[in-house]
Structure 1
Amino acid sequence: MRILIVDDEPLVRIGIKSAIDWEAQGVDIVGEAGDGEEALRMITETVPDVVLLDIKMPKMDGIEVLRAMKERQLPVQAVVLSSFDDITYVKEALKLGAFDYFHKPDMNERELTAMLKSIREQFGSQQAPARTGANAPGSRKEQILYDALHGNVHDLSAETGLKEGNMYVVLFKIKDYQAVIKRYTKETESILPNTVQNVVGEILSTEKEVEFLRLNEQLYAVFISNSELKSLLASLTRVNKMVQMISSALKRFVNIDIVLGISDWFADFDGISMGYEQAGRALSQQFYHPETSIFYYQHLRQKSESVYQQADVYLSQMKSALREEANDRFLELLSTWEKFLEQEECMEEKDVRKVYEGLKFMIGESGGKPSGAVQEEVAGLEGIHDFQQLSAAYRTLFEARFKHRHDLGFKGYSQLTRNIMEYTEEHYAESLSLKLFGELFHVSPNYVSRLFKQEVGQGLFDYINELRIEKAKVLLKNYRYKIYDVAEMVGFNNQAHFAIVFQKYTGFSPKQYRKEEV
């Protein structure tokens, strides 16, 4: 797969290029562009499969680029990069054919890898090579089944036991996979998917018109046709029997529970990709019903456009409350939105997570948490796949951040000033500059300087130096640290500069201060 990166911010382009091992993912980054005009030229020259496209850029923005791509019928999948406040532009981009979108603030390795997988799954037979590696189809039959799931139907009658007539696709995944995999060591964790494959393959081996395919470590597909059964009731009864056989065998021999999604019936091989999509949508309902084990596509309620519009209204209201710093009103609106989702079940897990992460970004950083604690927080949220638990976890996080802000005395400052203060609190030991803050928060360096002095009453670097000196005072009390160590630990490049600044703010040299404290 060939990817072109388009963003007017060099740091964003660097971040994307270094986020994951692209070569290991089978990806070739063919180039990068800093504006829309350059992007269109490079798309024509390099012919990428995917373009990561920023919305707000000079010369031509992302929307204009998408329109041009559509008019020229360029065979490229576009994934839009946006800030959280660009939701209107995102909707326009999706209407113009964008494949998906990322919020730049919460883009990470997991998101990027999932995007690649989604594009390969939807366009794999046209754009991506046949899969290789641990999860690749191991035979021609498996490759044929894999292709059929993605709309490329060929040789099914000759190479598989399937026949056209009353067909279904069943998807199943291991319930509480992260907890289950902890039973295994790093060296033996690959045993689990192989064991599942062997057990299911064995119990289905004697069944007519049934095929089985492992998609990855957690997800498996079963294809069932019922050409000899004339009624839909008889066909569904047979499908339910297969489902019970699989569940019982895995519980008995591997001691695991599974969750299943069952498609509606379809008549012929051309319906397999539709059945795959239906089974996936059915399976996704576990997010709202974690205690249920079997989900049927035919039982899903179809949502009207007004339901999605109402969800957008709640989201806009929550964003407005955050901009106005009406924290209590935000939490009330959050509860209303969550109750609405529980009732309507109109958003999939990945989209709910994007909203929560966007709200988290608007509220601001965690304020002084060690990086390890932040990583644990992220890992903890990623491990939750139950809507009620996820909403409770994010509410706790939001409330903690509101409290932290209040404790720091940020009330009355603008969002930008609070963000700068919180970032400084966490990164005071690093190199800080107006240019860095401008790039981080998408404003000009001069505006950062002017606004900070206007609201706080002192220059930004006076504020940073005061913070560094306060941190240094604490460290100087500990004789394990040499003075030059303390200087480096609080963000000064050399001991001489540290001594000058310390004298300015305290009236003492670092050495004198240490003696006075003793």
Structure 2
Amino acid sequence: MRILIVDDEPLVRIGIKSAIDWEAQGVEIVGEAGDGEEALRMIAETYPDVVLLDIKMPKMDGLEVLRTIKDRQIPVQTVVLSSFDDIAYVKEALKLGAVDYFHKPDMNERELTAMLKSIREHFGSQGASARIGTGTVGNRREQILYDALHGHVHDLSETSLKEGNMYVLLFKIKNYHTVIKRYTKETESILPNTVQNIVSEILSTEKEAEYLQLDEQLSAVFISNSELKSLLASLTRVNKIVQMISAALKRFVNIDIVLGVSDWFADFEGIRAGYEQAGKALSHQFYHPDTSIFYYQHLKQKGEQVYKQADAYLSQMKAALREEANDLFMELLSKWEKFLEQEECMEEKDVRKVYEGLLFMIGESGDSPGGAVSENAAVFGEIHDFGQLSAMYRLMFKERIKTRSQVELKGYSQLTRNIMEYTEEHYSESLSLKLFGELFHVSPNYVSRLFKQEVGQGLFDYINQRRIEKAKVLLKDYRHKIYDVAEMVGFNNQAHFAIVFQKYTGFTPKQYRKEEV
């Protein structure tokens, strides 16, 4: 595989080149470019299989490079490099044909190796143009089908497919990581070969049906129905084939599969779009782990407002972390996760990257997003269920926040730490110097003097700040009346709560609630 690195920052290019042993990975770095114009010139000169492309560059940015690659139909796969705040650009890049993206702060051996693995799985170890040999009739048919999936329609007359009421199906082995444990290192290749043999045998008795194994987990089935005039009849036939494949694999290999089915299309030119549709349908297993078949035509079409809302939640979560408003962050996290469950507007890989980015922001100085989950990488890699993944990350967020709080308290005396921890747990109760004196067996005056000396602010100023932070979260929920919120955070008087709230935020509680809608 040949790779070209494109980034205007020399240190980034050096970091990518030195992050892993590329030669050991079977990769040749054919060059590097510092802007978009130079990138296009080097693509024409070096013929890379993959371009690692920065989005924001001088002269010509990454999006312009992608448009040019698309317009000229240059046969190269592009992986976009971005920062955490480049989500809108990343979405546009994917629309323009980028196959994947990853964040520059994630740049480490694990992320780069995963990127290589993903490209090899989808485009082959030698790049898209040399994935399958042409030495045999079987391999030539595979090459023709593979090229059709990626928009290069040629010689399909050599297959059994005909134009008319066509579909693309994608299926993968359910719980693959568990299934593969039945096999040893020496015998694990038996599984994909067996799947290929079984499915090929089933389709050999079907007219206008072809099979292509994309990797050890993922396969494609092409079905055309040129003799059927009715879409209902065509879909009925597709469902019959789906049931035959599922039943045979369950019977002979004891594996379950998950399928994504495209919408119908009329001719060979629609194969690439059908492939993308089947992939989008299949990706929804992330939100519905117990469902076995997904139809693209049944998916809810998302408006631009949905994606804007998802971006807004992400911006709010990052802002909360920067302000160290941990309670607000956890509240927003819950809303974002509930929103994703309702709208299903983000794919699994994108959700994972958001989680890792947020975890990176929480982590102590020196952490990397990849390092944050490295100790549990195998476990995380085997989870493809949004509910389970969110539960694990939520646990890690809480642990990291707790650790960060403990680190922040290390510079204080044991008494001050005890006061802060007690305040965090009992902010809604009546707190006083006398209470702390009795709890920790010291004089109230000593509590007041020591706290101000170590923290730099009076104890009640600190307590009120903590109460107002809690109130800001509660005010976002309209089920709580303002006087209820006042009570819930330790104020016996709504008027006093309003005065203190305005002192620390610049808004009355009512104004703040309106501003945050």
* Aligned match of 2:112: 109
8 A Cα contact 1:405 1:411, kept in partner: no
Distance 1:175 1:18, change over 3 A: farther
1:313 match? 312
Q: Report the Cα distance in structure 2 between the residues aligned to 1:8 and 1:327, rounded to whole angstroms.
A: 36
- The verdict on how the C-alpha distance between 1:62 and 1:84 changes in structure 2, with shifts beyond 3 A counting, is farther
* Equivalent residue, structure 1, for 2:147: 147
1:238–1:383 Cα change, 3 Å? same
**Residues 169 and 261 in structure 2, CA contact (< 8 A), matched pair in contact too:** yes
Whole-angstrom CA distance in 1 between matches of 2:242 and 2:283: 17
Cα drift, residue 228 of structure 1: 1.9
Is 1:174 aligned to 2:173, yes or no? Answer: yes
- The residue number in structure 1 matching 2:421 is none
CA distance in 2, matches of 1:412, 1:32: 47
Q: CA deviation at 1:160?
A: 1.6
User: CA distance change for structure 1 residues 20 and 167 in 2, over 3 Å: closer, same or farther?
Assistant: farther
Q: Find the residue that maps to 1:171 and give its secondary structure.
A: strand
Name the CA shift for 1:359/1:63 in 2 (closer, same or farther; >3 Å): farther
Q: Distance in 1 between matches of 2:34 and 2:206?
A: 57
Deviations 1:138-197 (A, max 9, x none): 52111111111111222222x222222221111110000000001111111111101111
Q: What residue number does 1:331 align with?
A: 330
> Within 5 A, what are the aligned runs for 1:103-502?
103-107=103-107, 108-113=111-116, 116-117=119-120, 120=123, 128-132=128-132, 138-157=138-157, 159-365=158-364, 375-409=374-408
Shift of 1:40: 7.2
TM-superposed deviation, 1:379: 2.3
Report Cα offsets for 1:76-118 as digits up to 9, x if no partner: 7654323324446656766887664321222413442156348
CA separation in 2, counterparts of 1:328 and 1:47?
51
Task: Report the equivalent of 2:30.
Answer: 30
1:45 is displaced (CA, Å) by: 5.8
CA drift at 1:368 = 9.8
Question: Residue 301 of structure 1: CA displacement?
Answer: 0.9
CA RMSD of aligned residues (A): 3.7
CA contact (8 A) 2:359 2:372 kept: no
* Distance in 2 of aligned mates of 1:265 and 1:88: 30
Cα deviation, 1:202-259, whole Å, max 9, x if unaligned, reads 2222122211111110011111122222211111111111111111111111000000
State how many pairs are aligned. 405
Q: If the length of structure 2 is used for normalisation, what is the TM-score? A: 0.69
Q: Secondary structure of 2:306's match?
A: helix
* Structure 2: unaligned runs, 5 residues or longer: 413-453, 456-517
Alpha carbons 2:144, 2:156 under 8 Å: kept: yes
- Three-state SS of the structure 2 residue aligned to 1:238 is helix
CA distance in 1, matches of 2:24, 2:94: 29
Residue number in structure 2 paired with 1:417: none
8 Å CA contact retained: 1:367, 1:404: no
Question: Is the deviation greater in 197-206 or in 241-250?
Answer: 197-206
* In structure 1, C-alpha distance between the alignment counterparts of 2:16 and 2:103, rounded to whole Å: 13
CA contact (8 A) 1:148 1:272 kept: yes
How far apart, CA to CA, are the structure 2 residues paired with 1:373 and 1:137? 48
Structure 1: runs of 5+ lacking an equivalent? 414-454, 457-518
Distance 1:62 1:358, change over 3 A: farther
Alignment of 1:67-86 (within 5 A): 67=64, 75=74, 79-86=79-86
SS in 2 for 1:211: strand
Report the alpha carbon displacement of residue 358 of structure 1 after superposing the two structures with TM: 1.2
1:383/1:39 Cα in 2 relative to 1: closer, same or farther (>3 Å)?
A: same
Q: Deviations over 1:445-475 (max 9, x none)?
A: xxxxxxxxxx99xxxxxxxxxxxxxxxxxxx
Q: Cα distance, 1:3 vs. partner?
A: 2.5
The share of aligned pairs that are identical, in percent, is 76
Q: Is the 8 A contact 2:363 2:404 kept in 1?
A: no
Q: Is contact 1:172-1:221 (8 Å) kept?
A: yes
Match of 1:441 in 2: none
